[in-house]
Amino acid sequence: MLGAGAIGAYVGAALDRGGADVVLIARGEHLRAMAKRGVRVESPRGDFEAHPEATDDVGAIAEADVVVLGLKSYGLPAMAPRIGELLRPGAAVVFAQNGIPWWYFQRVDGPFAGRTLESVDPDAVITRSIAPEHVVGCVVYCATEITAPGVIRHLEGTRFTIGTPGGERTDACTAISRAFVAGGLKCPVEDDLRPQIWLKLVGNAAFNPLTTVTRSTLGGLGTSPAATAFARTVMEESAAVAAALGIELPVSLDRRLEAGLAVGDHRTSMLQDWEAGKPLETDCMTGAVVEIADMVGVPVPNTRALHELTHAVEELRDA
């Protein structure tokens, strides 16, 4: 598990509980706590502890059959060359990042086949570093927080939907799914992961920046008719971009909006990062929507404005 933060440590602990041989790769106080005391998960589904190996040595992935990447999307370009060098033949890499994945236009037909996106893969460094046969996409529906070093608060969600860029149901996908299920998680394998990517993104592209700009939890957004209406407008724009790519969302926007707000007293990952002084994952969310919108000729004025405003909030914080 490369990038064993809130999601990564939770998944790693679950996989360890299910019998998988797990190595958590992290850093700082969080790493030291996990190495000394293991991972403690506090969850409405039941608290538990796990004691997988923990290290700061990225080289540990060289022996792995499966590498689950919990890195933030903006951290992947710098790490990709090293990851590509270390991967053993046949190893699978599960990309559990937010937003539009860097591999989105791999192994698809149409005018954008093989296209790379500057917003998520600047100068195509990830594409050049990691061969397509290693790639397993992953859409994460799970809300977690680090409440103390080595302690993960799991709020809701256990689904990690996976699939390959070309839709092949590989032996690796089957094995990964079984390991996740053994750890108490849900891990369906999709023939086409892209509708699931957009279903999550239409919510994240609205909720994450908007909660950050307003300093609100998801439940807090729901108390404001203006914030709720604006979130839906951004969701509609993202859905229009998806439709231009031939994607039909498997769930209505009303249901997606309702489900997001129903999470309640939860700070989105972007708001958590803003409060911690960390970089924000704007480019893979609103940035990617805007970039693809320009490619397909769909106007997204509200998403574009929210993207710029979120960048401004980050710049003002850092100043």
User: Among all residues, which ones are annotated catalytic?
Assistant: 200
> Residue 151: in which H helix or E strand, if any?
strand 151-163
Residue 95, strand partner residues:
69, 137
Angle at 263 between CA 76 and CA 163, to 5 degrees: 40
d(CA 109, CA 129): 22
- The rounded distance, in Å, linking the Cα atoms of 136 and 164 is 5
| CA distance from start to end of the chain | 34
- Alpha-carbon gap, residue 285 to 288, rounded angstroms: 5
- Looking up tokens 């409060």, which residue turns up? 275
Question: Residue 50, SS3?
Answer: strand
Q: Report how far residue 104's alpha carbon sits from residue 197's, in angstroms, rounded to the nearest whole number.
A: 9
How far, in Å, CA of 264 to CA of 267, rounded? 9
Residue 256's nearest CA partner among 233, 232, 237 is: 232
